Amino acid sequence: MTSRRRAGGARVRSLAGRLRAPAQAAEHVAPTLEFADGTPYDHYVAAQALHGLQRTVTDVPEERAFLVTTQVMELYFGLIRSEWWLAQRLLDDDEVVGATAVLARSVRYFEALNASWAALSWLTPAQFNAFRDALGEASGFQSAMYRHLEFLLGNKSEPLTRPHRRSPAVYKELVDALRRPSLYDSVLALLARRGFEIPPPGDPALEYVPNPLVEDAWVRVYAEHGPGEELWSLAETLTDLSERFSDWRYRHLMAVRRSMGAKPGSGGSSGLTWLERSLRRDVFPELWSARTRM
């Protein structure tokens, strides 16, 4: 017994030595410091190009923080759009579990996106007014990528594509998004294929209008399915997504109230009034109204 224990201990020590050897060798290897053409990091991340995009229009120090925060949000809008496109394709292929996982990822992105507003929570009206006039008619209202998100959620409006008519590629993408079924349309089509009574699809270019049959369907989903089942998980993830999107709208509203009060928006919108009206529109409305009946 003793000899077997010794042999076993020797094998363990030998294995441990072999595992430590590469790690010890790695400790003595210096990182690569010379590259033929820039660094692989910059080739991948394009950090130099990104940092060159902060072209402020004034010398006011606070403007740079405003610009960087806005650009970060635009990057997140693009990321979320690509994820929702993927989720929509999966839903159309009846891959509910995969689609739900992608949507859950996008909920995490909204947590980071919403946190971006904190970077501007210090901005007072005096500080914002110091550079606001220099922005001219530029306004977040004109964000094409944000408009894509609204259209994917079913908040369709043809007039909101018009500011982009002079940018043909952007305008075409937006008009295509307006005319395609929304993410919620794909969810409802899935429920119809699963045997729920869903109203026939209308014109996808029109804003989604809540329907009692859809509310009935969600009530059934929660009554007939439980935690962990795919339709239940999809419903809860969509509710999370709706809540986080509403959080973004609310934080936007509060940032505007804090930095400029009820002044008209720089792009000609009614500013605070417009944001308050947007905040009152529920995303996936029947998922919320169904809860009263559960």
34's torsion region: left (phi>0), alpha (psi -120 to 50) or beta?
beta
Split the chain (294 residues) into runs of 10 and give each run's mean pLDDT.
51 55 62 89 94 95 95 97 98 98 97 91 93 89 93 94 95 97 98 97 94 98 94 98 94 87 63 76 94 94
Going 172 to 177 to 179 to 180, the CA torsion angle's sign is: positive
Question: Taking a C-beta distance cutoff of 8 angstroms, is the pair 213, 197 a contact?
Answer: yes
Q: Does the annotation place 132 within a ligand binding site?
A: yes
User: What is the helix (H) or strand (E) element at residue 189, kind and residue range?
Assistant: helix 183-193
pLDDT of residue 281: 82
CATH architecture of 64-293: Up-down Bundle (1.20)
Spatial CB neighbours of 177, under 8 Å, sequence gap ≥ 6: 147, 148, 151, 152
**DSSP reduced 3-state for 13:** helix
- The span from the CA of 191 to the CA of 100, in Å, is 14
pLDDT of residue 282: 87
b/e map of 134-147 (b: 16 or more CB within 10 Å)? ebeeeebbbbbbbb
- The span from the CA of 261 to the CA of 31, in Å, is 52
Phi, psi of 268, rounded to the nearest 5 degrees: 100, -5
